[in-house]
């Protein structure tokens, strides 16, 4: 599970117990959790012998959070509860912040992401009240990690916030984990080059310090290289991750095997991939670290499908689906989003209060909150108004285009009834001789016939010269006629037909499965970018928005 941050930063020395407490802090910063356990055990024994409940609480805390990170979840949870009981008795709000954070890590390892985030937000709220910006940064990084596990790239905002604060304040430890989470979420956004830039900073900071948890760094390098198709480098990084497994967090170990399994699957070595999946699942069960379990089963289903074993693939997919559904408790997720919004509002208020203090502007806090609430209500109202207005506009555009298509169809049938024989060709005429009105009308009618009846505009290679040859005229007369009759250039004229045909296809609800990626090529566009841009400019909405509106209109008419 990447990097979850646990350790507090405290100052103050008091004889030997303070010395052991400082060792716990330093080892936690270095992600050396086994060293933390050694120092915490000494701290706890000394505190209990001296009857010092303050240091006893910290001894239990450090033991608890380290055991959680090392996969001894139940033992760690019990120690954290002992620490919380002592901290509540002492009214030690600083330690309670740390304990809530540790509870969040425990729940995240069990895939209880909504509960994990609730603990992180509780801890954040207390850290905000204490104006502990360092603790805020660490908790924001934990929220970024949970967002990554939920495949939610919005967590990048938290990661960047913590990274930028650490960079500005010279905190290498938070900067390291911040860069790691930025790399993690850039990878999730499928931006491997950006992820490698952040990882270079992670590697530099880890080498400069005494950082022990190298497995997660090597594992993320491997994931990025695999995305880029650089299999040899990915395997080299995974071997390095396994070589450093003794210092890895418990949740990281299954993820290494998941990455290895993905590499073997990419190399079409599906049997080996499934063997790695089984090893990873056993590790997840052993360490009570289920964050990757759903991804294991999804990959297993894909492997079985590639191996031609549909029944086994279906069974694995059902396990994946069941796990995925259990991860997303939508009601709790909604509550967590509200907590996140409240935290962001509180954080913004704090920053605004600091600015007001610098500017020496006295404001009443209650008035400010009321104004902010009013602003949020107005903003929500504006957004809702804009949304419904756009929806109404889209419906009007769609109906207008459908009506126009029908009118054009009827007019075309009428013109066929009245059409006369084509005029003689103009191939022999010199481009310098002007065309008569009659010849211009006849030539334009033949051009229109080729476009409307034979749909020549769907030919990507239909050049002006080729169309002129088909018409028995020259490119100059062709351009003159098109410009005189339509006011358009040759290419604009072609694209006008292409967009009109796109509108016709998308206006038919029966074409709901027609892929947009295929549509642009079928209509003669050489580039999807050109198609989307022209459709937006001509129709007033994107092709996907137009199709969605047509389908909504069709559904409402059926009702």
Instruction: Count Cβ neighbours within 10 Å for each residue of 62-77 and write b for 16 or more, e otherwise.
Output: bbbbbbbbbbbbeebb
Q: Coil, strand, or helix at residue 60?
A: helix
Would you tell me how many other CB atoms lie within 10 Å of the CB of residue 227? 16
Query: Residue 285 has what pLDDT?
Result: 85
Q: For residue 46, how far is the Cα from the chain centroid?
A: 48
Q: Which of 282, 325, 281 is nearest to 299 (CA)?
A: 281
- Is residue 15 a contact partner of residue 48, using CB atoms and an 8 Å limit? no
Q: Is the dihedral of CA 111, 112, 117, 119 positive or negative?
A: negative
Residue pLDDT, tens place only, 348-398: 545 545 455 556 555 566 667 777 777 777 666 556 655 556 665 566 566
Q: Which of 271, 273, 181 is nearest to 226 (CA)?
A: 273
In the chain, the domains with their CATH numbers are 13-131 (1.25.40.10), 213-330 (1.25.40.10), 396-558 (1.10.10.60)
Please state, in angstroms and rounded to a whole number, the distance separating the CA atoms of residues 43 and 45: 6
Residue pLDDT, tens place only, 111-133: 677 788 788 777 777 777 778 88
Please state, in angstroms and rounded to a whole number, the distance separating the CA atoms of residues 159 and 168: 14
User: Which residues lie below 8 Å from residue 278, measured CB to CB, with a gap of 6+?
Assistant: none
Instruction: Count Cβ neighbours within 10 Å for each residue of 487-503 and write b for 16 or more, e otherwise.
Output: eeebeebbbbbbbbbbb
- Is residue 162 a contact partner of residue 194, using CB atoms and an 8 Å limit? no
Residue pLDDT, tens place only, 73-115: 889 899 999 999 999 999 888 888 888 888 888 887 776 777 8
- Is residue 255 a contact partner of residue 291, using CB atoms and an 8 Å limit? yes
Please state, in angstroms and rounded to a whole number, the distance separating the CA atoms of residues 141 and 10: 19
Please state, in angstroms and rounded to a whole number, the distance separating the CA atoms of residues 446 and 363: 75
Q: For residue 53, how far is the Cα from the chain centroid?
A: 45
Residue pLDDT, tens place only, 369-378: 777 777 777 6
| For range 532-556, the mean pLDDT | 88
DSSP labels, 273-320: HHHHHHHHHHHHHHHT--TTHHHHHHHHHHHHHHTT-HHHHHHHHHHH
Query: Residue 383 has what pLDDT?
Result: 63
| For range 467-473, the mean pLDDT | 89
Structure tokens given for 529? 């970018």
Residue pLDDT, tens place only, 264-298: 999 999 999 999 999 999 988 887 767 778 899 99
Please state, in angstroms and rounded to a whole number, the distance separating the CA atoms of residues 133 and 222: 33
- Mapping DSSP onto H, E and C, the string for 210-249 reads CCCCCHHHHHHHHHHHHHCCCHHHHHHHHHHHHHCHHHCC
- Is residue 135 a contact partner of residue 165, using CB atoms and an 8 Å limit? no
Q: Which of 154, 63, 153, 139 is nearest to 108 (CA)?
A: 139
Does 407 score more than 90 pLDDT? no
| For range 458-471, the mean pLDDT | 90
pTM over 0.85: no
- How much of the chain, in percent, has pLDDT values that exceed 90? 27
Residue pLDDT, tens place only, 200-254: 999 999 888 777 789 999 999 999 999 999 999 999 999 999 998 888 877 788 9
52 falls in which pLDDT band (50, 70, 90)?
very high
Please state, in angstroms and rounded to a whole number, the distance separating the CA atoms of residues 300 and 320: 9
Would you tell me how many other CB atoms lie within 10 Å of the CB of residue 558? 7
Please state, in angstroms and rounded to a whole number, the distance separating the CA atoms of residues 105 and 122: 13
Structure tokens given for 396? 């009007």
Q: Which of 65, 147, 74, 144 is nearest to 105 (CA)?
A: 65
Return left, alpha or beta for 15; rule: phi > 0 is left, psi -120 to 50 is alpha, else beta: left
Please state, in angstroms and rounded to a whole number, the distance separating the CA atoms of residues 253 and 234: 16
Mean pLDDT of the chain: 80
């Amino acid at each position: 599970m990447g990097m979850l941050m646990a350790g507090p930063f405290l100052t103050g020395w008091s004889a030997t117990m303070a010395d052991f407490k400082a060792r716990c802090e330093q080892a936690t910063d270095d992600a050396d959790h086994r060293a933390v356990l050694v120092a915490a055990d000494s701290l706890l024994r000394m505190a209990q012998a001296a009857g010092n409940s303050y240091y006893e609480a910290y001894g239990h805390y450090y033991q608890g959070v380290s055991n959680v990170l090392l996969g001894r979840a139940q033992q760690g949870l019990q120690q954290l509860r002992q620490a919380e009981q002592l901290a509540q008795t002492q009214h030690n709000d600083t330690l309670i912040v740390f304990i809530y954070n540790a509870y969040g890590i425990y729940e995240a390892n069990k895939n209880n992401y909504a509960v994990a985030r609730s603990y992180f937000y509780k801890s954040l709220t207390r850290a905000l009240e204490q104006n502990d910006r360092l603790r805020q940064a660490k908790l924001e990084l934990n929220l970024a990690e949970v967002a990554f596990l939920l495949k939610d790239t919005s967590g990048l905002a938290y990661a960047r916030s913590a990274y930028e604060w650490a960079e500005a304040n010279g905190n290498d430890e938070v900067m390291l984990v911040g860069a790691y989470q930025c790399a993690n979420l850039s990878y999730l956004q499928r931006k491997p080059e950006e992820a490698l830039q952040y990882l270079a900073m992670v590697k530099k900071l880890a080498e400069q310090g005494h950082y022990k948890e190298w497995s997660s760094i090597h594992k993320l390098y491997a994931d990025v290289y695999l995305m880029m198709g650089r299999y040899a480098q990915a395997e080299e990084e995974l071997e390095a991750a396994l070589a450093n497994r003794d210092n890895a967090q418990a949740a990281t170990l299954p993820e290494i095997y998941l990455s290895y399994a993905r590499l073997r699957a990419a190399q079409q070595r599906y049997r080996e991939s499934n063997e790695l999946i089984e090893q990873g699942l056993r590790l997840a069960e052993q360490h009570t670290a289920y964050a990757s379990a759903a991804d294991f089963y999804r990959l297993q289903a894909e492997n079985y499908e590639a191996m031609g074993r549909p029944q086994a693939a279906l069974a694995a997919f059902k396990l994946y689906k069941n796990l995925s559904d259990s991860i997303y408790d939508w009601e709790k997720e909604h509550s967590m989003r509200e907590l996140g919004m409240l935290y962001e509002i509180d954080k913004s208020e704090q920053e605004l209060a600091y600015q007001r203090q610098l500017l020496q502007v006295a404001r009443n806090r209650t008035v400010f909150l009321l104004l902010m609430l009013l602003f949020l209500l107005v903003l929500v109202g504006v957004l809702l108004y804009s949304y419904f207005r756009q929806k109404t506009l889209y419906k009007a555009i769609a109906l207008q285009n459908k009506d126009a298509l029908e009118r054009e169809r009827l007019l075309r049938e009428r013109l066929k009834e009245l059409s006369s024989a084509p005029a003689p060709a103009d191939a022999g005429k010199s481009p310098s001789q002007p065309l008569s009105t009659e010849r211009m009308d006849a030539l334009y009618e033949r051009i229109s016939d080729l476009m409307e009846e034979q749909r020549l505009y769907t030919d990507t290679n239909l050049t002006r010269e080729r169309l002129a040859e088909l018409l028995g005229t020259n490119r100059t007369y062709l351009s003159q006629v098109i410009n005189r009759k339509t006011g358009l250039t040759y290419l604009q004229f072609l694209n006008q037909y292409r967009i009109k045909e796109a509108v016709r296809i998308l206006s038919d609800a029966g074409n709901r499965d027609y892929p947009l990626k295929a549509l642009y090529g079928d209509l003669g566009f050489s580039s999807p970018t050109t198609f989307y841009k022209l459709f937006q400019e001509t129709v007033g909405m994107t092709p996907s928005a137009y199709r969605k509106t047509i389908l909504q209109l069709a559904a409402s008419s059926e009702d």
